[in-house]
Structure formats: C-alpha cells, structure tokens
C-alpha cells in the first residue's frame, strides 16, 4: 500500500519530523483558500503515485493568488501517466540552499533493512544509484537490534553532510527508521530533505509504502487505504482481496498462482497480444470468487477478451469447472469472450463439465492464450 504524500507527511509530522505547512485541496477554490491561509509562495502538488511528478507538470509554484488558481486548475483533473489527479497538496514554499536524500528500504539480497543518505537529493535517487553509487551512503541494519544511533551518524557523516546539519539529518533518519520498523513500511524516504537558508532541516517530500502483509497490525494506516487507491479497479480488487495489476493491453487474464498468471501474461505477449491485467484468483475457485474476478475484468473497458487459466493442484478441476459455470450463468449475456483452460487434478472431468455455450475451452495453456489473443484481435477489427 502506497500512502499519498499528504498521508505520509501526516505520519512523519506526528513522529516529529519537521514538514512544511500544508493543506490538502480537492477543488480549485479549496486550493486557493489553502494558499491564502498558508501564505505565498506555495507549491501545488498533485497527489498521485507517479514518479517524476515535477517534470510531468504535477508540481507548480505559485507566488500569488492568480498563480495559485492557475496551478490548481492546471493540475486538478490532469492525467499524469495514466492517473487522474483528484487532489493537490498546497504547501508552504521552502527557501532552500541544499537538498539531501534520506531513506530506508529492505535490501532483500541481504535480508536486512538498509538506511541511505545522499547529498544529491531532489533528483531521482535511483538514477544517482546507477550513475554515481558512491554518492549514496548505505548502512545495513540488523533487524534484531534495530538501527543503532551510531549508524545514523555514520551514514550522515559518510554521505558528507555538513557537520552543522548532521545532527538534524541523523535525527530524521533515526525517526524514519523507527517508523519503518514500527509501521511495517516497505520503503520510506524523504527526497528532498531541504536545508533552508536559515539552516533548518525540513522534509519537503514524503514517501511511505506499507507492507500489505502487515496491514493487519497497522489499523490506522489501513484506514488510509481507501483514500490511497488510485482508481475504481484498484479499489474493487482491494475489496475482493485479489492481487490485481492493471496493464495497458486488451486481453483480460485470470489465473491461480502468481507465477502462472505472470506466465499467462507473458504468453499473451509472446503470441502477439497485449495483456490487460494481472489477476490472481488464489487457491480454490468457488463460484463467488470466479464471479468477482470476472466482474473485475469485465469492468475494465479496455478488455476485449478473457483467458481463464487454472492449474488445479489440490483443488479438483471438476469443482473449478462448476464454479466457472455457476459464475457465468449469472450473466444474461457474457460481455466478452472467455477462453478457459483447466489443468492438473481432474482437469479432464472439469473440461467436460464446462458449459461451452458460455466459454470456449482449450486443453493447453498455449492454445488457450492464442485463442484469447485472436478473439481480442477480432473485436478490434
């Protein structure tokens, strides 16, 4: 789960990290009122989970009411890399002399969190990591002990932060690590940490992604989930409890097991089609879950055909087939052509049971995918 900037800043501020004054606005008038209250200059920042918002026009500075209105008008409702901007954060402009990067993430190779500090903040840190890796000081943290204070200092000194600001920056890093640990973050970062002309150290941006698997013990963050969804399909997947990722193609994909679903996507691509989504229906395939999965894929207007790929392990193919029949029988008309492939335990029995008035049946994965791809092509012709 990705928090919006404004949500992350609420969490950071509560933990004692200095952030600029700001207000969330969902309309142009709200944005202007917020700017007036905060005082100029302000930054108007699109609240979407898209990297490089600034370059894409999602952040604008405003020196006065007119500029604030223009900025809010330009940003609210804009399409930013496929996401519609529904709210902006209006934030006090910071007069900075220096920008740093401070963050914590999991180094999965090491199985340990890693704290990072760089004096090259304000730009894409992943580019810095690629082009100039020694510009990022890294400190691995033993998760049993947590981050020792010396590690925060070491990262800050190693990164070359001025001695004058080192204590404040180390303090932000320490708080970020504590939040990372206490709030089950998967990534947490401030980029940039701004050093103001007055020598203050302030978190000008905020990224906080939460481990979905740990949300059960972060009830207050889970409450932020609703506002963190980017669109209706994400919200629907969240409600149904599906692992779902929307892509840009037109072949809808439903399967069981992450690896097999990814493989199905890959095969759609391999056979010349374009996958519309990743949807893992998980173990079993009761009618209700099948119904929900079809609802999701059918609700995506981009989808022109659907491939349903189930490898029954412990689950028996005949039971899955019954579930699919039941689910599809609820529709008066099947909105988009569905190809089903069942494999594994009792697959043949299952294929026999499937109602071929409702679905097309293929025996191999390869054939099922090719059928769905050609169905999608037909629709587009």
Q: Which part of the chain contacts its own copies (CB under 8 A), choosing from 7-15, 86-94, 126-134, 137-145?
A: 137-145
Q: Which does 109 bind (CB under 5 to 8 A by kind): its own copies, other proteins, none?
A: other proteins
- Give yes or no: 189 in active site: yes
Name which of 198, 196, 197, 178 is nearest 188 in CA terms.
178
Please list, in sequence order, all residues whose beta carbon lies within 8 angstroms of the beta carbon of residue 98, skipping any fewer than 6 positions away: 119, 162, 194, 195
Determine if 145 is a binding residue for its own copies (CB under 8 A): yes
Which of 69, 138, 148, 236 contacts other proteins by CB under 8 A?
Answer: 148
Q: How far, CA to CA in Å, does 265 sit from each of 199, 370, 372, 376? A: 52, 12, 11, 14
Are 124 and 51 in contact by the 8 Å Cβ rule? The answer is: yes
Please identify, using beta-carbon distances, which residue of 145 and 216 lies nearer to its own copies.
145
Stretch that binds its own copies, among 140-148, 150-158, 189-197, 254-262 (CB under 8 A): 140-148
Residue 314 within binding range of its own copies, rule CB under 8 A: no
Specify whether the CB–CB gap between 60 and 75 falls below 8 A. Answer: yes
Q: Are 316 and 347 in contact (CB under 8 A)?
A: no
In the set 27, 29, 37, 51, which binds other proteins (CB under 8 A)? Answer: 51
144 contributes a contact to its own copies by CB under 8 A: yes
Instruction: Pull the structure tokens for residue 269.
Output: 């691509």
φ/ψ of residue 48, rounded to 5: -135, 155
Contact between 343 and 375 under an 8 Å Cβ cutoff? The reply is: no
User: What would the 3-class secondary structure string for 161-200 be?
Assistant: CCHHHHHHHHHHHHHHHHHHHHCCEEEEEEEEEEEECCCC
Residues tagged in the binding site annotation: 45, 52-54, 91, 94, 99, 191, 205, 256, 313-315
Residues that bind other proteins (CB under 8 A): 51, 106, 108-109, 111-113, 126-127, 129-130, 142-145, 148-150, 153-154, 157-158, 163, 166-167, 181, 184, 186, 211-214, 216-217, 243, 245, 247, 255-263, 265-270, 275, 278, 280, 311-314, 343-345, 364-366
Active site residues: 101, 189
Binding site membership for ATP: which residues? 45, 52-54, 91, 94, 99
């Amino acid at each position: 789960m990705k928090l919006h900037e404004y949500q992350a800043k609420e969490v950071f501020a509560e933990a004692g990290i200095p952030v600029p004054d700001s207000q969330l606005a969902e309309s142009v008038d709200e944005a202007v009122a917020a700017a007036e209250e905060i005082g100029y200059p302000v930054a108007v920042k699109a609240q979407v989970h898209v990297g490089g918002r600034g370059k894409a026009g999602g952040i604008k500075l405003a020196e006065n009411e007119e500029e604030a209105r223009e900025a809010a008008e330009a940003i609210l409702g804009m399409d930013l890399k496929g996401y519609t901007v529904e709210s902006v954060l209006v934030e006090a402009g910071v007069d900075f002399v220096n920008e740093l990067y401070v963050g914590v993430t999991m180094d999965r190779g090491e199985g340990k969190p890693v704290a990072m500090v760089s004096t090259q903040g304000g730009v894409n840190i992943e580019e810095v990591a690629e082009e100039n890796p020694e510009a990022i000081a890294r400190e691995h943290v033993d998760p049993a002990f947590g981050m020792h204070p010396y590690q925060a200092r070491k990262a800050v000194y190693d990164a070359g932060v001025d001695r004058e600001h080192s204590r404040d920056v180390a303090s932000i890093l320490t708080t970020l690590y504590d939040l990372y640990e206490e709030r089950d973050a998967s990534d947490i970062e401030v980029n940039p940490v701004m050093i103001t002309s007055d020598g203050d150290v302030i978190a000008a941006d905020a990224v906080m992604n939460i481990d979905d698997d740990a949300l059960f013990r972060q009830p207050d963050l889970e409450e932020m989930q609703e506002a963190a969804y980017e669109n209706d399909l994400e919200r629907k997947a969240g409600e149904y409890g599906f692992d779902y990722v929307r892509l840009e193609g037109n072949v809808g994909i439903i399967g069981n097991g992450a690896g097999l679903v990814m493989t199905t996507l890959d095969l759609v691509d391999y056979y010349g089609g374009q996958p519309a989504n990743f949807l893992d229906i998980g173990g079993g395939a009761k009618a209700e879950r099948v119904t929900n999965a079809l609802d999701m894929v059918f609700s995506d207007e981009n989808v022109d055909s659907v491939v349903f790929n189930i490898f029954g392990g412990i689950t028996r193919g005949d039971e899955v087939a019954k579930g699919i029949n039941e689910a599809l029988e609820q529709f008066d008309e099947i909105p988009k052509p569905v190809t089903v492939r069942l494999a594994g335990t009792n697959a043949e029995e299952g294929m026999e049971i499937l109602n071929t008035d409702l679905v097309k049946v293929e025996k191999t994965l390869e054939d099922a995918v090719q059928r769905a791809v050609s169905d999608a092509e037909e629709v587009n012709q």
